[in-house]
């Protein structure tokens, strides 16, 4: 229940809460309080407007980009069915404020406030983040601004609750980062979330003899041939920055969540040397280095994309410029260039094909065709454009695991399905497929068709089919 047993609730105070009229003796009814205009309104209870508590804190992003807006919300416990609709959504019942050096404005500002960050001026050639702003967003629930409101029984009524935030200067900072929540090993053996690291913390690193300092040379060209000779030591956190990234990579099903710009110590399969490389250039079967100096094969690599962005944390460590992330050795914060994101790309599309036979035939192409996709997002659509050859019906069998075979169902294939297929769960890797042509016993059996693959707004239409059934 929203209220305690036998608790006194005032109809006059309820009137003030829902319409601002502070006359306790003015006419008021429960149906009027509910906002109902029905001649036979549904039954309404006082507890429908009540809560037991204002929850601690506010919900919303901890890090807010300059010149952007995010919603922050006050949350309640055991709210009655009409509380949000009739009380919480009245701006008169909530007040919003901030402290610190934040430059923000509020919009809406009922129980949900839109907080807009101003512009951060980056002067003097300072690197990204130098002028980040920090402080707290605060909100107070008090009906019509009164300390003795209808819900004055609620815990934290007429009491400020807050959310600490940082406004991030977006000038220049590449989000070469770990995903918010990633565990990082400290040199003392403890493990903390990356966002909980503090300046001066010692985190686990690995010795790389002959490495180039990022301040004195192009470390991206470093080559190491030290398999089995890596030793552990520590690096000190000198800077913690908070960013947003529109994407991240999941390596080995949760072993590392990292942005695509972040360099990791990497060895390509078949090459004995280790270099610095980024996730878009990895392939299953390549190797990364763990905290014990062991090489670990990449067994899976999956990209996640969200235009609204993911919260990520960027570190600067010294004296070395690299450290152990969640699992693997990663490089430092990198450059101060504008962010770039890997583009969606189809490659190695099959060449043109001819499917020929007699009217009445059913023909399945004699081998699987493939197309590769990198940096995709969401579903892949497969469509067909066919000109003439009205007597020929084309279907397609698809598999992300291997040749779907003449049955269409091998390697977890879809079976032979009609065009279009708009919801294939395929973002990267190799797509295997076979085409089936079924020709009627009579009619036009000659013409052409184009098979198109589309993901994330990018389309490949390189596969042209010539149909010749006579």
**pLDDT tier at 39 (50, 70, 90 boundaries)?**
low
**pLDDT tier at 130 (50, 70, 90 boundaries)?**
low
Please indicate, yes or no, if residue 6 is contained in any of the structural domains: no
| pLDDT greater at residue 211 or residue 126 | 211
What are the b/e assignments for 207-234, b being 16+ CB within 10 Å? ebeebeebeeeebeebebebeeebeeeb
Identify the bridge partners of residue 277 per DSSP, sorted by sequence position: 264
Q: What is the CATH number of the domain that holds 35?
A: 2.60.40.60
| Residues 6+ positions from 73 with CB-CB distance below 8 Å | 58, 59, 60, 111, 112, 113
Q: What percent of the chain has pLDDT over 70?
A: 87
Mean pLDDT lowest among 119-123, 125-129, 267-271: 125-129
Q: Both 199 and 246 in a single domain?
A: yes
Strand blocks (E) in 333-457? 345-347, 353-357, 362-364, 369-374, 380-388, 392-399, 417-418, 421-424, 429-439, 446-455
Please indicate, yes or no, if residue 218 is contained in any of the structural domains: yes
Q: Both 151 and 28 in a single domain?
A: yes
Closest CA to 469 of 435, 434, 437, 433: 437
Last residue of one domain, picked from the residues 306, 331, 356: 331
Q: Both 129 and 182 in a single domain?
A: no
How many separate domains does the chain show?
A: 3
| CA dist., res. 229 & res. 156, Å (int) | 58
pTM value is 0.45
- Alpha helix positions (H), 315-372: none
Q: What's residue 248's pLDDT?
A: 87
Q: What's residue 24's pLDDT?
A: 57
Please indicate, yes or no, if residue 212 is contained in any of the structural domains: yes
Please indicate, yes or no, if residue 5 is contained in any of the structural domains: no
Burial of 442 (0-12, 13-18, 19+ CB in 10 A): exposed
Q: What's residue 123's pLDDT?
A: 62
Pairing of strands 232-251, 202-206: antiparallel
Most confidently modeled range among 161-170, 404-413, 453-462 = 404-413
Q: Both 96 and 49 in a single domain?
A: yes
Q: Both 300 and 446 in a single domain?
A: no
Q: Both 375 and 424 in a single domain?
A: yes
Q: What's residue 81's pLDDT?
A: 92
Rounded mean pLDDT of 298-314? 84
The token duo for 337 is 């260039």
| pLDDT greater at residue 32 or residue 385 | 385
Q: Both 224 and 88 in a single domain?
A: no
Q: Both 353 and 421 in a single domain?
A: yes
Last residue of one domain, picked from the residues 168, 195, 213: 168
Identify the bridge partners of residue 324 per DSSP, sorted by sequence position: 329
Mean pLDDT lowest among 14-18, 368-372, 450-454: 14-18
pLDDT in tens, 403-418: 999 999 999 999 999 9
Please indicate, yes or no, if residue 164 is contained in any of the structural domains: yes
Q: Are 174 and 148 in contact (CB under 8 A)?
A: no
Please indicate, yes or no, if residue 341 is contained in any of the structural domains: no
Q: What is the CATH number of the domain that holds 236?
A: 2.170.16.10
Rounded mean pLDDT of 232-236? 82
Last residue of one domain, picked from the residues 134, 168, 202: 168
**pLDDT tier at 129 (50, 70, 90 boundaries)?**
low
Please indicate, yes or no, if residue 318 is contained in any of the structural domains: yes
- The phi, psi pair for 138, rounded to 5°, reads -125, 150
Q: What's residue 4's pLDDT?
A: 52
pLDDT in tens, 96-111: 999 988 999 999 889 9
Most confidently modeled range among 14-18, 46-50, 174-178, 327-331 = 46-50
Q: What's residue 333's pLDDT?
A: 58
Please indicate, yes or no, if residue 85 is contained in any of the structural domains: yes
Q: Both 359 and 218 in a single domain?
A: no
Residue 172 has pLDDT above 50, yes or no: no
Most confidently modeled range among 58-62, 207-211, 326-330, 443-447 = 443-447
Domain that holds residue 459: 346-469
**pLDDT tier at 336 (50, 70, 90 boundaries)?**
very low
pLDDT in tens, 70-95: 899 999 999 999 999 999 999 999 99
Q: Both 256 and 295 in a single domain?
A: yes
């Amino acid at each position: 229940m929203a209220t305690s047993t036998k608790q006194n609730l005032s109809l006059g105070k309820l009137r003030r809460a829902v319409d601002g009229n502070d006359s306790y003796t003015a006419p008021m009814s429960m149906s009027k309080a509910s906002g109902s205009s029905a001649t036979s309104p549904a039954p309404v209870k006082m507890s429908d407007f009540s809560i037991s508590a204002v929850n601690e804190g506010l919900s919303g992003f901890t890090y807010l980009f300059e010149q952007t807006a995010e919603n922050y919300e006050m949350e309640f416990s055991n709210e009655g069915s009409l509380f949000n609709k009739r009380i919480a959504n009245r701006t008169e019942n909530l007040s919003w404020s901030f402290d610190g050096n934040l430059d923000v404005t509020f919009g809406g500002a009922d129980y949900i406030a839109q907080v807009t960050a101003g512009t951060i001026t980056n002067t003097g050639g300072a690197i990204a983040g130098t002028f980040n702003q920090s402080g707290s967003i605060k909100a107070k629930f008090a009906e019509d601004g009164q300390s003795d409101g209808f819900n004055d029984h609620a815990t934290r009524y007429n009491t400020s609750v807050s959310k600490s935030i940082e406004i991030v200067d977006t000038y220049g900072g590449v989000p070469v980062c770990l995903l918010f929540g990633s565990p990082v090993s400290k040199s003392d053996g403890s493990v903390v979330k990356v966002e909980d690291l503090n300046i001066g913390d010692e985190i686990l690193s690995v010795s790389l003899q002959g490495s180039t300092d990022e301040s004195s040379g192009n470390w991206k060209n470093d080559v190491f041939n030290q398999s089995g000779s890596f030793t552990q030591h520590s690096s000190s956190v000198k800077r913690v920055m908070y960013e947003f990234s529109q994407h991240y990579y999941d390596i080995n099903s949760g072993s590392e969540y990292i942005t695509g710009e972040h360099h990791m110590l990497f060895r390509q399969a078949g090459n004995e040397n280790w270099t610095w490389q980024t996730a878009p250039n990895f392939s299953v079967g390549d190797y990364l280095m763990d905290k014990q100096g062991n090489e670990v094969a990449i067994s899976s690599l999956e990209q996640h994309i969200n235009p609204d962005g993911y919260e990520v944390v960027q570190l600067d460590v010294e004296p070395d410029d690299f450290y152990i992330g969640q699992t693997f050795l990663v490089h430092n914060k990198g450059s101060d260039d504008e962010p770039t994101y890997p583009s969606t790309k189809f490659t190695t599309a099959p060449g043109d094909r001819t499917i020929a036979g007699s009217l009445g035939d059913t023909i399945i192409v004699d081998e699987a065709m493939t197309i590769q996709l990198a940096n995709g997002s969401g579903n892949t659509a497969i469509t067909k454009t066919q000109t003439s050859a009205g007597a020929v019906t084309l279907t397609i069998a698809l598999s992300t695991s291997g040749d779907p075979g003449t049955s269409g169902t091998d390697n977890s294939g879809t079976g032979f399905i009609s065009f279009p297929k708009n919801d294939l769960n395929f973002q990267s890797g190799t797509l295997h497929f076979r085409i089936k042509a079924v020709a009627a016993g009579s009619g036009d059996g000659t013409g052409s068709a184009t098979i198109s693959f589309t993901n994330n707004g990018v389309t490949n239409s390189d596969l042209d089919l010539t149909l010749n059934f006579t």
